[in-house]
């Protein structure tokens, strides 16, 4: 009987994709995935450290897995950003953990699962090889993430990511386009190019050229990417939004704050006027989403008012707003006493104001689509996403991978509801694979 593993993933799309790569490495070494931890021989927790809350989740999850270990001798591994941040210190804090691996060591998970230990060095840029996705893992799915680059060379003073993910390294475009083609060959119709700062891509061509090369893969219907820094939004990328039909009209462009003085303390390298100039060039029907940090050290009532005024005049389709959370190894943590920590009740009040403003806007934008049609790529029966990346639940019999038109009958903050009108493009029909490389058993 093969040994079994269970992966618990926190955090961003990069972590989801890393979890898939670790699963593939384990499968190659004879491990089988199971979908619940109770019967697993190995539990792997892939962690996020973007805010303190994310880190707390790791330790409460580990508390549960520790009991499993006591009962059944389950092996426990910790991967991802907290692993990279804490390194061997994690073993002191949680001595029942058998091994710790950083994001540069995904392929080593089978060895570490056998031997235990810590692998958290960063590899030199020249040495780093991006793990290749096994397309079989994506067979039967309509969408897939494709890694374009890793790491981040920016120095935003709130952010731990440059520390947990290291320097920027881009994946050579030929390798990436080959991966996209292999995914399309098993039925994938939409890819999301991912990287911590994906529009600073430099793997042998510019990011805009990369999008055009990916768009040239026959059978691929949709391209998305995430996440981006406003300073790397080139005129060429703006043009791609106007000219490449496969590039979906959704752009997540984190602004972080609406006051120049705060942006400066955050070391964001742009002003609000510059941000506004750049987004003004984007197509009119594009859905723009953003991130905002509230309660950044030293945020005055005046800066908060500027933030609200900026948000009120900018037509963000949706906004993810966060309370500032001090992170280790960051510039803002060093300045916290000097700039002044914002008391939690005050920060919460400001967050409430930001969220109320955006909620009203998001609701209004959704309701404006009532009675109209949206084009949906079906991800599971009765569910898919519109071109703007809105979640859509619909009545209809379309198959996974079909592109359908849906009449919008209801809206909420998080999703649209509607009825299937017509299939625009049928999903391709494939022969079943001759040999399944990966198998999943239910525990
Ligand atoms: N505190 C709060 N939010 C943060 N983010 C990144 N670091 C922090 C932090 N220390 C937010 C930013 C980023 C998103 C992924 O998380 O808005 O764009
Ligand atoms: Fe979390 Fe950032 Fe790491 Fe993703 S890269 S897992 S968001 S800390």
* Cα 77 to Cα 24: distance, rounded to the nearest angstrom: 16
Q: What is the pLDDT of residues 68-97, one digit of tens each?
A: 999 999 999 999 999 999 999 999 999 999
Query: In the predicted model, is pLDDT for residue 441 greater than 60?
Result: no
- Are the folds of 4-121 and 135-367 the same? no
Q: Give the ligand whose atoms come closest to the C-alpha of residue 194.
A: 2
Per-chain mean pLDDT for the chain = 95
Specify whether the CB–CB gap between 146 and 194 falls below 8 A: yes
**Could you tell me the CA-to-CA distances from 188 to 195, 223, 311, 430 in Å, in that order?**
20, 11, 36, 11
Are 408 and 381 within 8 A, CB to CB? no
Per-residue confidence (pLDDT) for residue 433, from 0 to 100: 54
Work out the average pLDDT over 308-325. Answer: 97
Residue 5 burial (CB count, 10 A)? 26
CA of 420 to the centre of ligand 2 (A): 36
Q: What is the pLDDT of residue 85?
A: 95
Band of the pLDDT at 1, cuts 50, 70, 90? Answer: confident
From the CA of 13, give the closest atom in ligand 2. 4
Ligand nearest to the CA of 354: 1
For residue 327, the ligand closest to its alpha carbon is 1
* Complete DSSP assignment for 239-268: HHHHH-TTB-SEEE---B-S-HHHHHHTT-
d(CA 116, CA 414): 42
Q: What is the pLDDT of residue 268?
A: 98
| Tokens encoding 28 | 């190659």
CB contact at 8 A, 120 and 89:
no
Cβ 289 vs Cβ 318: under 8 Å: yes
Using DSSP bridges, classify how beta strands 143-147 and 149-150 pair: parallel, antiparallel or unpaired. unpaired
- Residue closest by Cα to atom 13 of ligand 1: 291
**Per-residue pLDDT band at 434 (split at 50, 70, 90):** low
What would be the CATH architecture of the domain defined by 373-425?
A: Beta Barrel (2.40)
Position 442 scores a pLDDT of 45
Residue ranges with strand state E in 141-268: 143-147, 149-150, 169-170, 190-194, 222-226, 250-252
The owner of tokens 């209004």 is 364
Predicted confidence at residue 124, as pLDDT, reads: 77
For ligand 1, which residues put their CB under 6 angstroms from it? Answer: 50-51, 158-159, 254, 256, 291, 293, 322, 324-325, 327
Pick the residue whose CA is nearest to atom 8 on ligand 2: 50
**CA torsion through residues 122, 124, 125, 128, sign:** negative
Q: Tell me what pLDDT residue 127 has.
A: 84
Q: Is pLDDT above 50 for 25?
A: yes
- Please write down the long-range contacts of 21-24, taking CB distance under 8 Å and 24 or more positions apart: 21/106, 21/107, 21/131, 21/133, 22/46, 22/79, 22/106, 22/109, 23/137, 23/438, 24/131, 24/133, 24/134, 24/137, 24/438
If one looks up domain 135-367 in CATH, what number appears? Answer: 3.80.30.20
Whole-angstrom Cα distance, residue 393 to residue 374? 11
pLDDT for 121 equals 92
Q: Whose CA is nearest to atom 6 of ligand 2?
A: 48
Dist CA 361 CA 292 (whole Å): 15
Q: What is the pLDDT of residue 431?
A: 62
**Region 410-431: what's the mean pLDDT?**
91
Summarize pLDDT for 188-244 with one digit per residue, the tens: 999 999 999 999 999 999 999 999 999 999 999 999 999 999 999 999 999 999 999
Give the CA count within 13 Å in the CB-facing half-sphere of 382: 3
The pLDDT-based confidence of 443 (bands split at 50, 70, 90) is: very low
Residues with CB under 6 Å of ligand 2 are 11-12, 14-15, 48-50, 80-81, 161, 164-165, 196
**Could you give the CA distance from residue 264 to residue 79 in angstroms, rounded to a whole number?**
33
Q: Please tell me the class of the 4-121 domain.
A: alpha beta
Which listed ligand is nearest to 53 at the C-alpha?
1
Dihedral of the alpha carbons of 16, 211, 195, 37, in degrees to the nearest 10: 10
- pTM to 2 decimals? 0.94
Give yes or no for residue 247 having a pLDDT over 50. yes
Mean pLDDT of 361-371: 96
pLDDT for the residue numbered 125? 79
Please say if the pLDDT value at position 265 is more than 90: yes
**Phi, psi at residue 114, to the nearest 5°?**
-75, -45
Mutate to test the pocket of ligand 1, among 56, 157, 159 (most ligand atoms within 8 A of CB): 159
Q: How far is the CA of 321 from the centre of ligand 1 (A)?
A: 9
The answer, yes or no, to whether residue 3 has pLDDT greater than 60, is yes
Distance CA 47, CA 83 (A): 7
> What are the domain boundaries of the chain?
4-121, 135-367, 373-425
């Amino acid at each position: 009987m093969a040994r079994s593993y269970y992966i618990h993933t926190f955090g961003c799309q990069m972590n989801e994709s890393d979890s898939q790569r670790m699963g593939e490495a384990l499968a190659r070494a004879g491990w089988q995935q199971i979908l619940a931890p109770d019967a697993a021989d190995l539990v792997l927790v892939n962690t996020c450290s973007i805010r303190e809350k994310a880190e707390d989740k790791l330790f409460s999850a580990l508390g549960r897995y520790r009991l499993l270990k006591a009962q059944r001798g389950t092996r426990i591994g910790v991967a991802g950003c907290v692993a990279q941040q804490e390194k061997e210190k994690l073993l002191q804090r949680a001595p029942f953990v058998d091994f710790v691996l950083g994001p540069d060591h995904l392929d080593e998970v089978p060895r570490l699962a056998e031997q235990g230990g810590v692998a958290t060095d960063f590899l030199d840029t020249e040495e780093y090889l991006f793990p290749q996705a096994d397309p079989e893992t994506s067979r039967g799915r309509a969408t897939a993430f494709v890694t374009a680059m890793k790491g981040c060379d920016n120095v935003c003073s709130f952010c731990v990511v440059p520390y947990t993910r290291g320097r920027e390294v881009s994946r050579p475009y030929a390798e990436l386009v080959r991966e996209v083609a292999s995914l399309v060959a098993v039925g994938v119709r939409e890819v999301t190019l991912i990287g911590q700062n994906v529009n600073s891509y430099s793997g042998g061509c510019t990011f805009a050229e990369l999008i055009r090369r990916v768009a040239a893969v026959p059978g691929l219907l949709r391209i998305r990417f995430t996440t981006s820094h406003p300073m790397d939004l080139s005129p060429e990328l703006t043009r791609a939004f106007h000219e490449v039909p496969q590039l979906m009209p959704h752009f997540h462009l984190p602004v972080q704050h609406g006051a120049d003085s705060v942006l400066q303390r955050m070391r964001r390298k742009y002003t609000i006027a510059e941000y506004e100039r750049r987004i003004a060039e984007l197509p009119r029907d594009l859905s723009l989403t953003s991130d905002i940090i509230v309660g950044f050290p030293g945020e005055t009532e005046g800066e908060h008012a500027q933030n609200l005024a900026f948000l009120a005049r900018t037509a963000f389709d949706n906004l993810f707003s966060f309370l500032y959370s001090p992170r280790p190894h960051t510039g803002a943590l060093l300045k916290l006493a000097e700039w002044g920590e914002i008391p939690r009740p005050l920060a919460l009040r400001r967050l409430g104001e930001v969220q109320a403003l955006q909620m009203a806007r998001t609701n209004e934008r959704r309701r404006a689509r009532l009675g109209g049609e949206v084009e949906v790529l079906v991800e599971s029966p009765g569910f898919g996403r519109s071109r703007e990346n809105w979640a859509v639940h619909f009545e209809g019999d379309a198959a996974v991978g079909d592109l359908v038109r849906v009449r919008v009958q209801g809206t909420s903050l998080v999703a649209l509801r509607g009825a299937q009108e017509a299939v625009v493009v049928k999903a391709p029909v494939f022969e079943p694979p001759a040999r399944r490389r990966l198998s999943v058993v239910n525990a």
